[in-house]
Structure 1
């Protein structure tokens, strides 16, 4: 390249820059959902669990998805589609799901690209507590 200058890919942060969290919160991935994925903390609300599960889909963490599924509905294995690229999350409504609740719901729209075509998943997920931790129960489209 002339003059030794290099153009940086606009889709990637500069080396050493913390990567943003896929869930859309302003914190870095490591400070936001990454800490839940690593097991350093548990999500304190149903909304944060839903955001962390979306991020798990985005970063390909099937183990976290399985671990945060309610025991009564937990699949033996979670397989992710490697062709699916998750591109954004919109939280539309939250009911219950705080430190003072035993259940909660989150309505959201998750955006993705599959085989070059954009799409979205609109869902209302239900969450409950198991042993004090929030877990995903089920969903309605």
Structure 2
């Protein structure tokens, strides 16, 4: 997957919906996390912001929010792959006062004219007080 620069929301840029599906504008939702204005308060919020990072091509954010023991040395995103929708099915812990959490989700994408999905159970932990992605188990329908 080829690395792309994230599309950053600025005051002169038209308001666009956040890719995570929250219904908020990108700049008021995941864009704030991508720009380091804040950090994820919950595991689900981190999951949504990581999906959005894939959607806007922000590999730096993905690496920054990956647990130090499982983070790859580098991440190259495929410019042909377009992440189009995120469905969250449930969470296990991952709240404001938790140290671990999990999110079950399906991410939809389009690649080379074909549609696809990724269905996973991802685990998150707090590292240095912030939520980070640890690992995932792929699920089948």
- Structure 1 or 2, whichever has the larger Rg, is 1
Pick from 114, 117, 128 the counterpart of residue 117 of structure 1. 114
Give the TM-score, by structure 2 length. Answer: 0.88
Count of residues in Structure 1 that have an aligned counterpart in Structure 2? 127
Number of the residue aligned with 2:126: 129
| Aligned match of 2:36 | 39
Q: Secondary structure, in 3 states, of the residue corresponding to 1:76? A: coil
Please point out which of 27, 30, 40 is paired with 1:30: 27
| 1:16 CA drift (Å) | 5.6
Please name the residue that 2:90 is paired with. Answer: 93
Higher relative contact order (CA 8 A, sep 6+): 2
Shift of 1:17: 3.8
- SS state of the match for residue 104, structure 2? strand
Question: Is 1:18–2:19 an aligned residue pair?
Answer: no
Q: CA deviation at 1:26?
A: 1.4
- Two-structure CA RMSD over aligned residues (Å): 1.0
Question: TM-score, with normalisation over the residues of structure 1?
Answer: 0.88
Q: Secondary structure at the match of 2:60?
A: helix
Unaligned runs of 5+ in 2: 1-11
What residue number does 2:3 align with? none
Gaps of 5+ in 1: 1-14
Structure 1's consecutive aligned runs of 4 or more residues displaced over 3 angstroms after TM superposition are: none
